Structure 1
Amino acid sequence: MKVRLDIDQQYAEEQIIIEAPSLSPRVQKVQDFVQSLDQKETLKGKFQDQLYLIEVGTIQRVYIENRKVLAETDIRTYTLDIRLYQAVEILPTSFIQISQSEIVNIDAISHLKLTSNGLIEIYLKNDSFTYSSRRYLKAIKEKLEL
């Protein structure tokens, strides 16, 4: 893979252009890495009326329960003061939306199980599990290369 760097004050903003004959796994990794540079590394979450900075990499899933957005880590579950669609925009590409009310960290997935009705049971490393919705199956399969 060749790398060319062109630095000039005439450019108003930084821009990265990837030229490739096809979207290979290597190119995809470069794209994901570059996109993750602008992502937040921490989110603010509440637990027992105290405010915590949660490292994004420790979040297993983000979901809605009782009209509140919750972030689950392997230790505890925090309440977030953002909407789920905002979390989708903030979180890095290692997170995937699996239903209208839930986002899962791909790195936190332990294993998957296909159900007889066409859904996917997603088991996380913290021993919890969840289900995907049919609406998001195509995106999940593409992202996980199933």
Structure 2
Amino acid sequence: MRVATLAPEFVESFPSTLEPGVLYVSIEFTTCAHLCACGCGEEVFTPLSPAQWSFAFNGRDISMRPSIGNWTLPCQSHYIIERGRVTWSYQFTKEQIAANRARDRRALRTRDEPEAAHEASEAAISQEQENKRTNRFWTRMWSHIWGG
């Protein structure tokens, strides 16, 4: 049976059996879980990260972004969780699903790029400092040899 609302339950780890109508939130594992809102009984896990899902808790209800698209499940349900209410959305085409997955893969790849760029920048600065030291050494050597 479809559910119209999902009530938040903050947990350290997920129970072995998820209850319908409950959105489990594990801060420790940065993941949410619930049974599919369509009532098919499938478990839905949503990893929390800037490149995946995020949630807002107002002290009573949870909203999740982006929408929940269960493209790998037989039901392929698609819904939005806003202030604990489930709002049904349109069915994606195969092309939209493929485009969405490609965008998700890019977001996951690039989420680590700022750190990699920072490390590359630090390496470049370190190399530049080493080059300056080497240049100073050779400048001093040439000055000593040529009396400059």
Highest CA radius of gyration, 1 or 2? 2
Tell me the TM-score normalised to structure 2 length: 0.22
Higher share of residues assigned helix: 2
Tell me the TM-score normalised to structure 1 length: 0.22
Higher share of residues assigned strand: 1
